[in-house]
Structures are given as structure tokens and as C-alpha cells.
């Protein structure tokens, strides 16, 4: 159909050029002068512009329709994903709430965290789908089916029909001019020629007016299509970018929570300190006696002196005299008793702690030493 339309348009343009050549050849009279030729060239230019505008607006309309169909398909698929994700969320929350495991609650906590995060993600997905429907699909659908485009296309089609009538009337006038030249004294032929020329002038005037209106309307629609379609695409991209950013934040937070639970499972058990014979650290008097006894052994001193130790296992104190330790901390160890307790300082606090909870470190970074104090 498009090929036929283009071929018809080319034939009309050829006929118009032939008519112009005939009018230049015969000249004179009330038709075919210089003004008429200029007007025909202007009309030809306007006709070509309308052809391009018609093709452009039609192509944009099809593109808008493709976007609407794609977004609607995405919404349908996304809604199904929300449904599946919500069911998974409910199953995870159900497992976490029942807490049937007898060996610990690590998976229970992880499943509840997963359920909460999944609920947030599905909520974000639902908001995205709603946004795409109201801010992208609906405005573009309104433009595809809107009155401005249809009105402009109707104007262009009316102009095209009137242009064909004008071309046919131009041929009719050319024929009657030829008959008048062949029969110069025939008044009836002259009157018919004048009537045909008057009709042609009316058609040309109406065609020019309608052509300007159609070109203006089509140009306005093209500009609206270009701007609004671009804006809808930007809205789509911004909505998806915001959605993925929020989803990433939720996933990263969830991963951190689940990694923490995983580390709790994989972390080695707290060692049983066999050397600790008492349930509490020694008093400072007892510690001094032990250290003095060690120093007098065989008349030499066996004291270790100050050294650094890295905490390998966390320790929670049972009294104000004990030191709280976290894995990775560094402690300045001042003395170690035979009962397995050590006294030292970590992060500005001093106290007792099990010596087997740390490992001696002879080489550490300066920043790590600073952290001790």
C-alpha cells in the first residue's frame, strides 16, 4: 500500500511539472503566468513537506505503540514475579516463625532476614510497575489514540484529495484553452473556459489554505511526538535506575546479615582453657607472689616482660577486674600467671583474661599497636 501511495505521488508530481511546462509555453490569459508558476512550486514544496511529516508521525506513532506494548508486557511479567516472590517471602517467614531446628537458630534468623528483604524488594518492584504504567504506558497510549494526531492526519488527507481535484481541474483548463485557441470566435467555449478557470482559482485558494493548516498541524504533532516520547523514555530509565539502586541496597544489607550468621556457624568453638584452675582471675597479690616465685627460680628471672598478643577468640568478662576481648584485637600483656590467666591492656582498659585466648605477636603494624591504646 505504501509503495502504491509513493508511486501515485510521483505521478502527480510529474503531471504538475508537465502542466507548468505547458503553461510556460502558452503563457498569457488569466492562468499560467509567472505568479501561477511560483504558486505551484510553493504547493509542490508544501506537498513534499506534508509527505515527510506524514511518514514521520506515522513512524513515531508505531514506535510509541511498540513502547506501550513492551511496557505492558513487562508489567504483566513483573506482576507474576511479584506474586512468586511474595509466596517465597511467606514461606521463608513461616519457616523462621516456627523455628523447628533443635541445634540452633542461625537458619531461622537468616530466613526471617530473607523474608523481610524479599518483601521490601517485591514492594519496590510493585512500585516500579505502577510507575511504568501511569507515567509511561498511559501517556503514550493517549498520544497514539489522541485527537491531535487524528485531526492532523485528516487535514493532510483532505489536502491530498483537494490537490488531486486541483490537478484534474488544471488539466481541464488546459484542454479548454486549447479548444478556444482552435475556435477563437466561439463564445460558449470562452464562457466554459472562464468558468473552469474560476473553479481552478477557488480550488487553488482552498488547497493553499488547507495545505498550510495541515502542515502546521502535522508539524505540531511531530514536535509533540518527539518531545513526549523522549520524556517518557527518560522517565522509564530513571524509574528503573532508582528501582535497581534500592534493590541493590536491600540485597547488600541482606547479604551482610546472612554472612554474619554464616560466620557464626563456621567460626571455631571457644577453646576450653584447661590451665585455668580457678573460676575467677587471681588477685593482684596472688599474681605478684606467682611472678616473684618465678623470678627467684634458680636465682634467675623467668619473667617474660611486656609483649603483644592478638585475640583469637572473643571473651566476655564476668567481673569488673576482667578485660573484654574481641577477635582481632591486640593486647599488651604485662604478666602471665601459672593458673592460665594474663593481665594486660587493650583499647585503654586494663584487666585479666584467659591467656589461651590470645596468640603472641612479635611483628605487628604500627597502626595495630596504636589501636591497643
Domains 39-266 and 307-368 belong to one CATH topology: no
pLDDT by residue, tens only, the chain of 373 residues: 666 666 766 666 666 556 555 444 443 333 233 333 335 678 888 888 888 998 999 999 999 999 999 999 999 999 999 999 999 999 999 988 887 776 777 888 888 989 999 999 999 999 999 999 999 999 999 999 888 888 888 888 898 888 888 888 888 888 888 888 888 878 888 888 888 888 888 888 888 889 889 889 999 999 999 999 999 999 999 999 999 999 999 999 888 888 877 777 776 554 544 444 444 555 545 545 554 444 444 443 344 467 888 888 888 887 777 888 888 888 888 888 877 888 888 887 888 888 888 888 765 544 444 454 5
Domain boundaries, the chain: 39-266, 307-368
The confidence score (pLDDT) of residue 21 equals 54
Query: What's domain 307-368's architecture?
Result: Roll (2.30)
Residues 6+ apart with CB under 8 A from 356: 271, 273, 275, 276, 340
pLDDT of 315 reads 83
Residue 177 pLDDT: 86
Tracing cell 498541524 back to the chain, one arrives at 217
Cα within 13 Å of Cα(12), Cβ side = 21
Task: Give domain 39-266's CATH superfamily.
Answer: Arfaptin homology (AH) domain/BAR domain (1.20.1270.60)
Cα distances (Å, whole numbers) of residue 227 to 20, 212, 223, 332: 40, 23, 6, 70
Amino acid at each position: 500500500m505504501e509503495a502504491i501511495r509513493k508511486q501515485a505521488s510521483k505521478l502527480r508530481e510529474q503531471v504538475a511539472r508537465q502542466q507548468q511546462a505547458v503553461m510556460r509555453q502558452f503563457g498569457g490569459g488569466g492562468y499560467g503566468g509567472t505568479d501561477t508558476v511560483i504558486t505551484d512550486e510553493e504547493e509542490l514544496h508544501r506537498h513534499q513537506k506534508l509527505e515527510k511529516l506524514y511518514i514521520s508521525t506515522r513512524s513515531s506513532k508505531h514506535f510509541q505503540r511498540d513502547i506501550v506494548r513492551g511496557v505492558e508486557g513487562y508489567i504483566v511479567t513483573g506482576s507474576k514475579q511479584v506474586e512468586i516472590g511474595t509466596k517465597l517471602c511467606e514461606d521463608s517467614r513461616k519457616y523462621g516463625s516456627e523455628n523447628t531446628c533443635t541445634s540452633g537458630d542461625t537458619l531461622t534468623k537468616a530466613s526471617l532476614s530473607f523474608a523481610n528483604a524479599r518483601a521490601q524488594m517485591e514492594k519496590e518492584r510493585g512500585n516500579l510497575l505502577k510507575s511504568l504504567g501511569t507515567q509511561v504506558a498511559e501517556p503514550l497510549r493517549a498520544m497514539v489514540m489522541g485527537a491531535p494526531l487524528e485531526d492532523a492526519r485528516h487535514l493532510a488527507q483532505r489536502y491530498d484529495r483537494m490537490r488531486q481535484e486541483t490537478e484534474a481541474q488544471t488539466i481541464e483548463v488546459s484542454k479548454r484553452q486549447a479548444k478556444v485557441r482552435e475556435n477563437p470566435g466561439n463564445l460558449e467555449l470562452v464562457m466554459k473556459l472562464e468558468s473552469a478557470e474560476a473553479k481552478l482559482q477557488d480550488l487553488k485558494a482552498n488547497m493553499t489554505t488547507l495545505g498550510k493548516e495541515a502542515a502546521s498541524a502535522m508539524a505540531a504533532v511531530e514536535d509533540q511526538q518527539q518531545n513526549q516520547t523522549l520524556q517518557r523514555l527518560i522517565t522509564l530509565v530513571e524509574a528503573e535506575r532508582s528501582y535497581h539502586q534500592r534493590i541493590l541496597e536491600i540485597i547488600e544489607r541482606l547479604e551482610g546479615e546472612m554472612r554474619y550468621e554464616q560466620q557464626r556457624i563456621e567460626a571455631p568453638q571457644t577453646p576450653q582453657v584447661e590451665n585455668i584452675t580457678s573460676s575467677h582471675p587471681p588477685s593482684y597479690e596472688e599474681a605478684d607472689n606467682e611472678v616473684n616465685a618465678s623470678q627467684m627460680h634458680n636465682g634467675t628471672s623467668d619473667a617474660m616482660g611486656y609483649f603483644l598478643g592478638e585475640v583469637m577468640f572473643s571473651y566476655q568478662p564476668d567481673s569488673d577486674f576482667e578485660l573484654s576481648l574481641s577477635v582481632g584485637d591486640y593486647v599488651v600483656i604485662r604478666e602471665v600467671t601459672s593458673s592460665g590467666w594474663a593481665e594486660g591492656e587493650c583499647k585503654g582498659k586494663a584487666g585479666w583474661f584467659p591467656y589461651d585466648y590470645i596468640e603472641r605477636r612479635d611483628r605487628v603494624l604500627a597502626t595495630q599497636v596504636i589501636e591497643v591504646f
